[in-house]
Amino acid sequence: MSGFAAVDVIRVKRDGGALSDAQIDWVIDAYTRGEVADEQMSALAMAILLRGMTPGEIARWTAAMVASGERLDLSGVSRPTADKHSTGGVGDKITLPLTPLVAACGAAVPQLSGRGLGHTGGTLDKLESIPGWRATLTNEEFLAQLGDVGAAICAAGAGLAPADRKLYALRDVTGTVEAIPLIASSIMSKKIAEGTGALVLDVKVGSGAFMKSVDDARELARTMVELGAASGVRTVALLTDMSTPLGLAVGHAVEVTEAVEVLAGGGPADVVELTLALAREMLAAAGLDADPAAALADGRAMDTWRAMIRAQGGDPDAPLPTAPETEVVRAATDGVVAAVDAYAVGVAAWRLGAGRARKEDPVSASAGVVLHRRPGDPVRAGEPLLELRTEDPGRIPAAREVIEGAVAVAAAAPSRTPLIIDRIS
Alpha helices in 195-321 (DSSP H): 214-230, 253-263, 269-285, 292-297, 300-311
Q: Are 159 and 317 in contact (CB under 8 A)?
A: no
Q: Please count the helices (runs of H) and the strands (runs of E) in the chain.
A: 16, 13
Collapsing DSSP to helix, strand or coil, 269 comes out as helix
Phi-psi map region of 83: left, alpha, beta (phi>0 left; psi -120 to 50 alpha): beta
Q: Are 27 and 9 in contact (CB under 8 A)?
A: yes
Catalytic residues: 85, 164, 171, 186, 190
CA distance linking residue 139 with residue 123, whole number of Å: 19
Number of alpha carbons in the 13 Å side-chain half-sphere of residue 347? 18
With b meaning 16 or more CB within 10 Å and e meaning fewer, what string describes 302-326? bebbbbbbebbebebeeeebebebe
Q: In Å, what is the CA distance from 8 to each residue of 12, 28, 36, 174, 181?
A: 6, 14, 12, 21, 20
In order, the DSSP letters of 99-152 are HHHHHHTT-BEEEEE---BTTB--HHHHHTTSTT--S---HHHHHHHHHHTSEE
